[in-house]
Chains A and B, each alone.
Chain A
Amino acid sequence: MTAETATGISTWDATPPRRPGLGDVNGAAMRFRGEGPFDPRRVPMGNDQNGRALMLLGYAQVVRSGRQTLSFSVFNNDGGHATIAGATPGSTAPTINLMRTPGGAGSGDLFLWWAANAFPPHTVRPRARINSNVPGCICADWYTDIGSGHSGIRVVTQAPGGAPTDMTFTVDIE
């Protein structure tokens, strides 16, 4: 490696956001200068440093880019009583917008979307779970609203038996 490639920032805060690669840890190829013996009690050794860099890279490939919990009592299409709480690895959480899915089932059919490049590219598909003392059925997937061009996640919830029903849920943005 001829020059430092690490950026000194979280790759979730890069423009555009991305998951880290070897370049972000300067190749994970640290070695110690042969002419200068070091005290291993005081100085971290190369395999320790490189191993922890690679572990961090591995974790970062599978960690969620975001996790959003949506709860509401009465939902209307202007976002009335819905609330969203979330967490992301980046230092600033992207704004998550919410609407009923255009052309969808109405109740229990929601579309969460955000600005392009708010998160790194997708890895696997999103997973959602119901948060309630009343069980139900749920699914989630990547979705682009043709009308507006917004991209995000569509989450559909139903009561057992299949009746569309608004339910509180948490969804992972992968």
Chain B
Amino acid sequence: MPAAEQATGVSPWDLPAPRRPVIADFNGASLQDDPADPPDWTEMPTSKNFNGQALTLLGMGQVIENAKLSVVFSGGQPVLDSGVTTAGVSHGTQSPVIDGDITVLRTVGGAGLGDVFIWWPAGTFPAPTVHPNAGINGATPGCISADWYTDGSGHSGIRVVTQNASGVATDLPFTTDVP
């Protein structure tokens, strides 16, 4: 048990340097029942209940997506259609999507059609865990790939490449996660 509270009281995604949760965010998840007056588990939470909740949240926090972003084409250009993030729930904060922190454009030096780069300011999300996973929307099936990418301007984000079923570079709407 820590000598003083370590938990911050905010979602770690909303800290100035966003990160995924660590056990200190739950004060060690090491609460103890009072042996002299143990709680009646039928009437109140017990230490195992609280610690189990904390460790479950800690585990989920390692795999939950930082964001999911949908991109469509409007006027021949890729635009952000919708997005949702884990960040922006703490008091006084809002989603990076609402903040306008997500930029969508064609990949400079890329294939042109079907080659989109989504980027955001450094420190918007916790460090990446795995590689991103994207899927095609609309009614035209095709092939899609997505990966972390840094462009010539130093912006970092996700590059998504789409082709039609015959392998021809084609603009197709898509949704990608930000893991």
Task: Tell me the interface secondary structure of chain A in the complex.
Answer: mixed
Taking the closest CB of chain B, its distance from the CB of A46, in whole angstroms, is: 7
A123 B140 Cβ-Cβ under 8 A: no
B86 A44 Cβ-Cβ under 8 A: no
Whether, in the assembled complex, B143 has its beta carbon less than 8 Å from a beta carbon of chain A, the answer is: yes
Taking the closest CB of chain A, its distance from the CB of B15, in whole angstroms, is: 10
A126 B68 Cβ-Cβ under 8 A: no
A54 B70 Cβ-Cβ under 8 A: no
B11 A54 Cβ-Cβ under 8 A: yes
B135 A129 Cβ-Cβ under 8 A: yes
Q: Which residue of A lies closest to B39 (CB)?
A: A42
Whether, in the assembled complex, A52 has its beta carbon less than 8 Å from a beta carbon of chain B, the answer is: yes
Whether, in the assembled complex, A162 has its beta carbon less than 8 Å from a beta carbon of chain B, the answer is: yes
Whether, in the assembled complex, A48 has its beta carbon less than 8 Å from a beta carbon of chain B, the answer is: yes
B64 A63 Cβ-Cβ under 8 A: yes
Given A40-B27, A54-B90: A124 and B84 within 8 A (CB)? yes
Taking the closest CB of chain A, its distance from the CB of B149, in whole angstroms, is: 20
A139 B142 Cβ-Cβ under 8 A: yes
List of B residues within 8 angstroms of A54 by Cβ: 10-11, 14, 89-90
Whether, in the assembled complex, A57 has its beta carbon less than 8 Å from a beta carbon of chain B, the answer is: yes
A141 B141 Cβ-Cβ under 8 A: no
Query: When each residue 133-144 of chain A gets 1 if its CB lies under 8 Å from chain B and 0 otherwise, what string results?
Result: 000111111000
In Å, the complex CA distance between A158 and B140 comes to 9
Q: Which residue of A lies closest to B142 (CB)?
A: A137
List of B residues within 8 angstroms of A52 by Cβ: 25-26, 53-54, 57
Q: Which of B29-37, B107-115, B152-160 contacts A (4 or more CB under 8 A)?
A: B29-37
Q: How many residues of A contact B (CB 8 A)?
A: 49
B85 A61 Cβ-Cβ under 8 A: yes
List of A residues within 8 angstroms of B8 by Cβ: 47, 51
Binding site for A on B (CB under 8 A): 1-2, 5, 7-14, 21, 25-27, 31-34, 47, 50, 53-54, 57, 60-61, 64-70, 81-91, 95, 133-143, 164-166, 172-173, 175
The 10 sampled A-B contact pairs (Cβ below 8 Å) are A41-B1, A44-B50, A51-B9, A61-B88, A122-B82, A126-B175, A137-B142, A137-B164, A140-B135, A174-B84
Apart from A124-B84, A162-B164: 18 A-B pairs, beta carbons within 8 A: A40-B27, A45-B7, A50-B9, A51-B12, A51-B25, A52-B26, A52-B53, A54-B10, A55-B57, A57-B89, A58-B87, A59-B57, A62-B68, A127-B137, A137-B142, A137-B164, A139-B138, A139-B140
Rank and list the top 8 A-B pairs by shortest CB-CB distance, nearest first. Answer: A127-B135, A47-B9, A137-B141, A162-B165, A47-B7, A139-B136, A58-B86, A123-B84
